[in-house]
Amino acid sequence: MIKAIIFRFYLLLLPFSLLAKTLEENPVVSKHSITINNTPIEYQTAAGSYITQSKSGHKAKVYFVSYFKTGEDAKERPITFCFNGGPGASSTFLQLGGIGPKKAALDINDASKRFKIQDNDLSILDLTDLVFIDPVSTGYSHALDKKKEKLFHGVERDIDILSEFIRLFLIKNDRFASPKYLLGASYGAYRVIGLLLNLEKRKILCQGVILISPALDLNLINLGDEEDLTYIFSLPTYAAIASYHGKIQENDLSHLLEKAEYFSKTTYLTTLFQGNNVQKKDKLETLKKLNEFTSLDISLIKKSNLRIAPSVFTKQLLASQNKLVGRFDGRITGSSYLNLKPWSEYDPSFSSIVTTLNSAYHVFAKNTLRFEIEEEYRILANVFPWKGFSQGEIAPSFRDDIARLMSIYPFFKMFVASGIYDLATPYFGTSYYLSHLNVPLRPVYPIEHHIYPAGHMLYMDKAVLPDLKRDLTNYFQLVR
Contacts of 440 (CB under 8 A, 6+ apart): 403, 406, 407, 446
Lowest mean pLDDT among 141-150, 171-180, 270-279, 435-444: 435-444
Residue 57: predicted pLDDT: 94
Model confidence at 21, in pLDDT bands (50, 70, 90)?
very low
Residue 20: predicted pLDDT: 43
d(CA 456, CA 422): 5
Each residue's pLDDT tens digit, 254-308: 999 999 999 999 999 999 999 999 999 999 999 999 999 999 999 999 999 999 9
Domain 28-220+382-479 has CATH 3.40.50.1820: yes
| Better-predicted residue by pLDDT, 394 or 474 | 474
Instruction: Report phi then psi at 20, rounded to 5.
Output: -65, -30
β-pairing, 102-105 with 116-119? antiparallel
Model confidence at 480, in pLDDT bands (50, 70, 90)?
confident
d(CA 209, CA 337): 41
| Mean pLDDT in residue range 355-367 | 92
Q: Measured between alpha carbons, how far apart are the two ends of the chain, in Å?
A: 56
Each residue's pLDDT tens digit, 43-96: 999 999 999 999 999 999 999 999 999 998 888 899 999 999 999 999 999 999
Helices 280-294 and 228-244: angle between axes, nearest 10 degrees: 40
Residue 12: predicted pLDDT: 44
Model confidence at 241, in pLDDT bands (50, 70, 90)?
very high
Residue 336: predicted pLDDT: 84
The answer, yes or no, to whether residue 224 has pLDDT greater than 80, is no
Model confidence at 151, in pLDDT bands (50, 70, 90)?
very high
The answer, yes or no, to whether residue 235 has pLDDT greater than 60, is yes
Are 61 and 49 spatial neighbours (Cβ–Cβ below 8 Å)? Answer: yes
The answer, yes or no, to whether residue 16 has pLDDT greater than 90, is no
Lowest mean pLDDT among 257-261, 337-341, 401-405, 440-444: 337-341
Model confidence at 213, in pLDDT bands (50, 70, 90)?
very high
Sign of the CA dihedral running 394, 399, 400, 402: positive
| Better-predicted residue by pLDDT, 289 or 437 | 289
User: Three-state secondary structure along the chain?
Assistant: CHHHHHHHHHHHHHHHCHHHHCCCCCCEEEEEEEEECCEEEEEEEEEEEEEEECCCCCEEEEEEEEEEECCCCHHHCCEEEEECCCCCECCHHHHHHHHCCEEEECCCCCCCCCCEEEECCCCCCCCCEEEEEECCCCECCEECCHHHHHHHCEHHHHHHHHHHHHHHHHHHCCCCCCCEEEEEECHHHHHHHHHHHHHHHCCCCCCEEEEECCCCCHHHHHHHHHCHHHHHHHHHHHHHHHHHCCCCCCCCHHHHHHHHHHHHHHHHHHHHHHHHHCCHHHHHHHHHHHHHHHCCCHHHHHHCCCCCCHHHHHHHCCHHHCEEECCCCCCCEEECCCCCCCCCCCCCCCHHHHHHHHHHHHHHHHHHHCCCCCCCCECECCCCCCECCCCCCCCCCCHHHHHHHHHHCCCCEEEEEEECCCCCCCHHHHHHHHHCCCCCCCCCCCEEEEEECCCCCHHHCCCCHHHHHHHHHHHHHHHC
- Could you tell me what percent of the chain has a pLDDT over 70? 90
Model confidence at 106, in pLDDT bands (50, 70, 90)?
confident
> Closest Cα partner for 66 from 38, 43, 33?
43
β-pairing, 79-83 with 129-134? parallel
The domain ranges of the chain are 28-220+382-479
Residue 7: predicted pLDDT: 40
Lowest mean pLDDT among 198-212, 223-237, 419-433: 223-237
Q: How many CA atoms lie within 13 A of 78 on its CB side?
A: 23
Residue 25: predicted pLDDT: 66
72-82 exposure pattern, b = at least 16 Cβ within 10 A, e = fewer: eeeeebbbbbb
d(CA 277, CA 424): 31
What is the distance, to the nearest Å, from the Cα of residue 449 to the centroid of all Cα atoms in its chain?
A: 15
Residue 23: predicted pLDDT: 63
d(CA 124, CA 98): 9
Hey, which residues does 413 pair with through a beta bridge?
A: 208
β-pairing, 180-185 with 79-83? parallel
The answer, yes or no, to whether residue 466 has pLDDT greater than 90, is yes
Residue 443: predicted pLDDT: 65
Q: How many CA atoms lie within 13 A of 19 on its CB side?
A: 19
d(CA 245, CA 225): 25
Are 155 and 386 spatial neighbours (Cβ–Cβ below 8 Å)? Answer: yes
Model confidence at 207, in pLDDT bands (50, 70, 90)?
very high
Q: What is the mean pLDDT of the chain?
A: 90
What predicted TM-score, i.e. pTM, was given to this entire model? Answer: 0.92
Are 316 and 333 spatial neighbours (Cβ–Cβ below 8 Å)? Answer: no
Model confidence at 221, in pLDDT bands (50, 70, 90)?
confident
| Mean pLDDT in residue range 368-394 | 87
